[in-house]
Structure 1
């Protein structure tokens, strides 16, 4: 059964939180192309903590030809993020408000409601767009967030990034996404969407696990 949509006017798509659903690959939001992958990036608490810090300092969006600008945290009393159940349905704020943290270069860490612009190309495919953080989770063994498109991109959709410290002590980097093509060429040729997504995934992995060379 296709999941129920939840509309949030801060983003340009309806299925907010669908990257959290276990059946994303079988039942993606209508007209979208789903994608997911996971990589083992080490083991132990130290590796988990380091990867989590990289993730929260926007490392995936600053990899290779990618860069970010105009990082704007939500104002006090503004958007607090959304929490989701296993089917991707919104249930509660993603976390309580806390003091803003910053990366080494002064860029604000990822936080609920933050908006950011991403620029660049991946294998010739344009990546420019306006994104918003719709959820952040910082748990003892799982750190990550969900980004949704606000506009000005060739696709509309959502990405979930997570670093997981699993019970066997392995640390995994997980990315899930769905893209609804908006540019005419992408609507006609979904293969372009998939190639763009594969290129993005590989750059994300290199940002979180610099030893990755495949």
Structure 2
């Protein structure tokens, strides 16, 4: 399947939002230290964070790798097909981004990156750009946008909780 937007991979560039899309940027402190970074990175790369959010995840691989197709199911009803467009696996940064495929209620890209800064603090950054693609996403207006922000904030809380266990 082909992506539903042109600027595939654009979430690699921090702060970049293609024209006609709405940006989303949420950064959450997860904890401190190498062990927290490794645990958070693993939870993000293996879909564990997403599953802990309570969403359905059907993926073509156990880990997020470029080209892997994944469908997120919300509330058992809304299916959101995506494909991983890039990954990063560095000593202080790990994560990936997926882009929307036909049938997704939105059109755009979303990235989930765990980073360990110089002082040892571990952060999750959810960076995205989107616009409605389905009638119900358009009808949702500001409420749908609010749900996207709430989802990104919840990713951080859930990941922090996973790392505290």
Band of TM-score, shorter chain: 0.7 to 0.9
| 1:205–1:195 CA distance, 2 compared to 1 (3 A) | same
Q: Is the 8 A contact 2:71 2:79 kept in 1?
A: yes
2:145 paired with 1:156: no
| 1:168–1:132 CA distance, 2 compared to 1 (3 A) | same
Partner of residue 63, structure 1: 52
Aligned counterpart for 2:4 among listed residues 2, 9, 12: 12
Partner of residue 132, structure 2: 181
2:93 paired with 1:139: no
Count of aligned positions: 163
Cα RMSD (Å): 2.2
Gaps of 5+ in 1: 1-8, 74-107
Query: 2: CA distance between counterparts of 1:187 and 1:211?
Result: 33
Deviations 1:72-94 (A, max 9, x none): 14xxxxxxxxxxxxxxxxxxxxx
Partner of residue 41, structure 1: 30
Structure with larger RCO (C-alpha < 8 A, sep 6+): 2
Per the alignment, in what secondary structure is the counterpart of residue 99 of structure 2?
strand
Per the alignment, in what secondary structure is the counterpart of residue 128 of structure 1?
strand
Higher helix share goes to which structure?
2
Q: Is the 8 A contact 2:82 2:104 kept in 1?
A: no
Gaps of 5+ in 2: none
Deviations 1:138-162 (A, max 9, x none): 0010001011111212111100111
Partner of residue 85, structure 1: none
